[in-house]
Chain A
Amino acid sequence: MGETVKTTPKLLPAGKSGIRRFLNADRVAVLAVVVAYAVVAILVYTGSATRQLMNMLISVSCYIVLALSLNLVVGLLGELSLGHAGFMSVGLFSGCTMAVLLHDTLPVILCLPLSMIVGGLAAALVGLLVGLPALRLRGDYLAIVTLACGEIIKNVITNLDIDGTPLRGALGIDTSSIRMSPTELLPYAIVLVLVTMLVIMNFKRSKHGRAIMAIRDNRIAAEATGVNVTYYKLMVFVLASLFAGMAGVLYGYSLPTTEASLFDYNMSIEILVIVVLGGMGNLGGSIIAAIILRVLPEALRDFSDYRMLAYSILLIGIMLLSENKRFKSWKSQVSLGSLWNKVRAKFRKKTPAVATADAVAEEPNHTDSPKGGDGQ
């Protein structure tokens, strides 16, 4: 997708019309999500959605939030994290414990957001702890530390069996009293996804986001220009785990019980696959990839025994194809993007193509590598 970047000037043209200024890519992504959720909501509440779709809504929404938040670490900061599921489970187990204890006294409209905040903060605290080694480590070493932290979290939660709380150790957390059906949870899921999108998108284009991307691209240069590397690295870990924790609470609400052993490195890898497939640092891409990768195994159900085989072949195929030069050049010729550029070039000869300032961030050539920031 890097082809358009070469042709777009990095500076904002002075004479941008109002509607074009409003319709920057992020807002379009938010709009697209709003529209999509509106369609889903209409289908669900008019009863025309299938049960399969309804039962998938919450888990897909959770994965969208997880992918968006992991994209902060992997795409924005350029560090490989293999422990994202661990943060999610911290949020789930702390937030849902509180929710179970409070659900008799508080109405759900207060209880759920409150437990989401508590779960998010608990996960953020753990994220801060995990982020500390990240100050000294990079690349695969950091990846293995995040993986190790995820396994430690899993081990600790598996051994948490406290009377008077819903925590039952290996038997998982008993959330049957607060479980809500997909139709009841959908509004909360929509709000969570939109809040996550808005916060992360604004964070990315804020001065903090730029500083973080500067660290990713060249840490030493960023440090030399006065960027506080320690502070920003921790900030990314805290923010990413905050949202992962909130997604965890939502996930916990959708099931009557959840076991800690579910949140192992395989799940972290699953989220990482979404982020990489969607494009590093590309938030819209993360959303699309989360939907595709969650829906794909469901759509492949008719393959029965060959379902996961087909899934793995598709995954390899997508990766090989996305890196195939011939396919890339073919795609750039026929893609909507080039068509759009041609059409626009005809009508708007005077104004150069519009680029929002953060299009720089989407330049994939250097964002794809977690070790891109090593400063050779």
Chain B
Amino acid sequence: MKKFLSCALALVMMLGCLSILSGCGKKEEWVVDENGLTELMIGGIGPLTGDYANYGLSVRNGAQIAVDEINAANPSGVDGFKLVLDFQDSQGKSDAATSAFGKLMDDGMKVSLGATLSGETEAVVAAGDSDGILMLTPSGSAVSAISGSKQAFRVCFSDPAQGKASADYIAQYGLATKVAVFYGSDNNYCVGLYETFAAECQVKGIEIVEVQTFTSSTSTDFSAQINKIAASGADLVFLPIYAAEAATFLTQAGDKLDGMKLFGCDGLDGILTKIDDTSRVDGLLMLTPFAADSTKANVQSFVAKYQEKYGTTPDQFAADAYDAVYTIVAAMKKAGITADNKDDFNKRLVAAMTEITVEGLTGTMTWTADGEPTKNAMAMEYQGGKAVLFDPTK
């Protein structure tokens, strides 16, 4: 009988849950605030808790700074719009990201920042394709992340683009002929970069002499891998990994890898805050569209604001998110969307994406119809605890 009651209770609870979830009404209409400004809700998704929380929080913080900046600069609104950011936690899981996307749609999201990690971005893009909404992911870098929808664009480079660009750069400036690679075998960013890098190396005649990997559950001790790489006789170690693992790698390497060049991609940005002995980073090359240590005025102002507000140095995720918000505004201007003229909002906004040019923190960007950005990566070199523009002719 106990069971009977628990089942009856189950029913009641299920209905209760439903009422929680279906109770809040759908907001399809535009909201106008007390100052007469139309609210443009930008929805973001990313891991704010759990193992990947740093990425999601960077994206949220970067986007928030851009939103605040734009609203402050336009007290009477951007063509009558006030930007509102709603950022939801996904814990890095695709299923939670799609529920979060559902909630944002329920709450009246007008433009989506996709999601933060590649896998969850792909899920969100698939879930949102039929809505026609513009999805501009700051950081979903796997090719497949945005290939599922015509309305999906990204701010960051795709992984293969970076892998190929790295190999090209190394070949172009003759940095090395023998290369060792160290990457995370269970991380799609690392694997995506590694695979295209390896393919391009074959084309350019660069020999890969050693490949060492790690997984997220063995990311604490790299001494075995370091010893192998040290013994491989490579001229250069390619590190398509994130800053935290790179910090561990370089610290544990000590002076074992002296004489080898170190080369990485945008994942390495922010390494200085994760390593205590910054002299270990000296000589590390990084092919990246964004470097927090850059002398560009817009980057410096962004970094200063970010440090003041959040107490840390922004990384590429934050910069990409900042640029994403500015891109949305640029696309709205291009499409001629104003608070009074916003019929066919989604369609006009998406169409404008391929026509705009945005000067952002991560360079000057234009977009292809596939949603891929075209922008330049710079090679930066760490010297004396700072990243400076690398001069390959030296």
Chain A positions within 8 Å of B, measured between CB atoms, are 1, 4-5, 8, 23, 25-26, 28-29, 31-33, 35-36, 39-40, 43, 48-56, 58-59, 151, 155, 158-159, 169-172, 174, 176, 179, 181, 251, 254-262, 264, 282, 284-285, 287-288, 291-292, 295, 297-299, 301, 304-305, 307-308, 335-337, 340-341, 353-356, 359, 362
Q: How many A-B residue pairs have CB under 8 A?
A: 199
Of the residues B10, B88, B119, contact of A287 by C-beta under 8 Å: B10
- Knowing A23-B4, A151-B217, A158-B186, the reply to whether A43 touches B106 (Cβ < 8 A) is no
Minimum CB distance partner of A303 in chain B: B89
Extra inter-chain contacts (16) besides given A55-B102, A262-B93, A262-B94, CB under 8 Å: A28-B7, A29-B7, A36-B14, A39-B18, A50-B24, A56-B95, A56-B102, A255-B95, A256-B144, A259-B188, A261-B186, A288-B10, A308-B89, A336-B5, A337-B2, A362-B2
Give chain A residues whose Cβ lies under 8 Å from the Cβ of B130. 181
- B21 touching A53 by the CB < 8 A rule? yes
Give chain B residues whose Cβ lies under 8 Å from the Cβ of A33. 10
Give chain A residues whose Cβ lies under 8 Å from the Cβ of B216. 261
Of the residues A53, A151, A181, A359, contact of B2 by C-beta under 8 Å: A359
Check if B20 is an interface residue, CB within 8 A of chain A. Answer: yes
- B126 touching A256 by the CB < 8 A rule? yes
B176-204 interface (Cβ within 8 A of A): 184-188, 190-192
Of the residues A31, A56, A260, contact of B186 by C-beta under 8 Å: A260
30 contacts between A and B (CB under 8 A): A5-B2, A25-B1, A43-B18, A50-B22, A50-B106, A51-B106, A52-B100, A53-B21, A56-B21, A170-B187, A170-B190, A172-B188, A176-B144, A255-B94, A256-B126, A258-B94, A259-B119, A260-B186, A285-B6, A288-B10, A291-B13, A295-B20, A297-B96, A298-B21, A298-B103, A308-B50, A335-B5, A336-B8, A337-B1, A355-B1
- A158 touching B4 by the CB < 8 A rule? no
- B123 touching A25 by the CB < 8 A rule? no
Q: Mark B36-54, 1 if CB is under 8 A from A, else 0.
A: 0000000000001110000
Check if B385 is an interface residue, CB within 8 A of chain A. Answer: no
Give chain B residues whose Cβ lies under 8 Å from the Cβ of A43. 18, 22
Give chain A residues whose Cβ lies under 8 Å from the Cβ of B8. 28, 32, 336
Give chain A residues whose Cβ lies under 8 Å from the Cβ of B98. 55, 255
Minimum CB distance partner of B218 in chain A: A155
B213-231 interface (Cβ within 8 A of A): 215-217
- B7 touching A32 by the CB < 8 A rule? yes
Give chain B residues whose Cβ lies under 8 Å from the Cβ of A259. 119, 186, 188
Check if B237 is an interface residue, CB within 8 A of chain A. Answer: no
A295 to B22, CA, bound (A): 12
- A305 touching B48 by the CB < 8 A rule? yes
Interface of B is mostly: helix
Chain B positions within 8 Å of A, measured between CB atoms, are 1-11, 13-15, 17-18, 20-22, 24, 26, 48-50, 88-89, 91, 93-96, 98-103, 105-106, 119, 122-123, 125-127, 130, 142, 144, 147-148, 184-188, 190-192, 215-217
A255 to B118, CA, bound (A): 13
Give chain B residues whose Cβ lies under 8 Å from the Cβ of A362. 2-3
- A171 touching B7 by the CB < 8 A rule? no
For the complex formed, measure the closest distance between the CB of B55 and the CB atoms of chain A, giving whole angstroms.
15
For the complex formed, measure the closest distance between the CB of B280 and the CB atoms of chain A, giving whole angstroms.
27
A353 to B4, CA, bound (A): 13
- Knowing A56-B99, A292-B13, the reply to whether A256 touches B148 (Cβ < 8 A) is yes
For the complex formed, measure the closest distance between the CB of B25 and the CB atoms of chain A, giving whole angstroms.
9
Give chain B residues whose Cβ lies under 8 Å from the Cβ of A158. 185-186, 215
- B99 touching A298 by the CB < 8 A rule? yes
Give chain A residues whose Cβ lies under 8 Å from the Cβ of B101. 51, 55
Of the residues B1, B6, B15, B96, contact of A341 by C-beta under 8 Å: B1
- B22 touching A337 by the CB < 8 A rule? no
- Knowing A25-B1, A50-B21, A50-B26, the reply to whether A170 touches B186 (Cβ < 8 A) is yes
For the complex formed, measure the closest distance between the CB of B59 and the CB atoms of chain A, giving whole angstroms.
15
Give chain B residues whose Cβ lies under 8 Å from the Cβ of A4. 1-2
- A308 touching B106 by the CB < 8 A rule? no
For the complex formed, measure the closest distance between the CB of A302 and the CB atoms of chain B, giving whole angstroms.
10
A354 to B7, CA, bound (A): 16
A249 to B102, CA, bound (A): 22
A195 to B131, CA, bound (A): 33
- B21 touching A295 by the CB < 8 A rule? yes
Give chain A residues whose Cβ lies under 8 Å from the Cβ of B187. 170, 261
A54 to B18, CA, bound (A): 11
A176 to B215, CA, bound (A): 26
A354 to B91, CA, bound (A): 46
For the complex formed, measure the closest distance between the CB of A144 and the CB atoms of chain B, giving whole angstroms.
15
Give chain A residues whose Cβ lies under 8 Å from the Cβ of B13. 288, 291-292
A284 to B9, CA, bound (A): 10
Give chain B residues whose Cβ lies under 8 Å from the Cβ of A55. 98-99, 101-102, 127
Minimum CB distance partner of A50 in chain B: B106
A58 to B106, CA, bound (A): 18
- B5 touching A340 by the CB < 8 A rule? yes
Of the residues A170, A297, A305, A353, contact of B185 by C-beta under 8 Å: A170
- A282 touching B3 by the CB < 8 A rule? yes
A340 to B3, CA, bound (A): 12
The residue in A51, A151, A336, A356 that gathers the most chain B C-beta atoms within 10 A of its C-beta is A51
- A176 touching B148 by the CB < 8 A rule? yes
The residue in B50, B89, B187 that gathers the most chain A C-beta atoms within 10 A of its C-beta is B89
A125 to B22, CA, bound (A): 41
Minimum CB distance partner of A355 in chain B: B1
Of the residues A35, A39, A52, A258, contact of B106 by C-beta under 8 Å: A52
- Knowing A50-B22, A52-B106, A170-B191, the reply to whether A291 touches B122 (Cβ < 8 A) is no
- B3 touching A284 by the CB < 8 A rule? yes
- Knowing A28-B8, A59-B95, A362-B2, the reply to whether A54 touches B119 (Cβ < 8 A) is no
- Knowing A170-B187, A176-B148, A261-B216, the reply to whether A29 touches B96 (Cβ < 8 A) is no
- Knowing A256-B126, A260-B186, the reply to whether A53 touches B102 (Cβ < 8 A) is yes
Give chain B residues whose Cβ lies under 8 Å from the Cβ of A301. 88-89, 100, 103
Give chain B residues whose Cβ lies under 8 Å from the Cβ of A251. 95
For the complex formed, measure the closest distance between the CB of A110 and the CB atoms of chain B, giving whole angstroms.
23
A295 to B17, CA, bound (A): 7
- B11 touching A36 by the CB < 8 A rule? yes
Minimum CB distance partner of B103 in chain A: A52
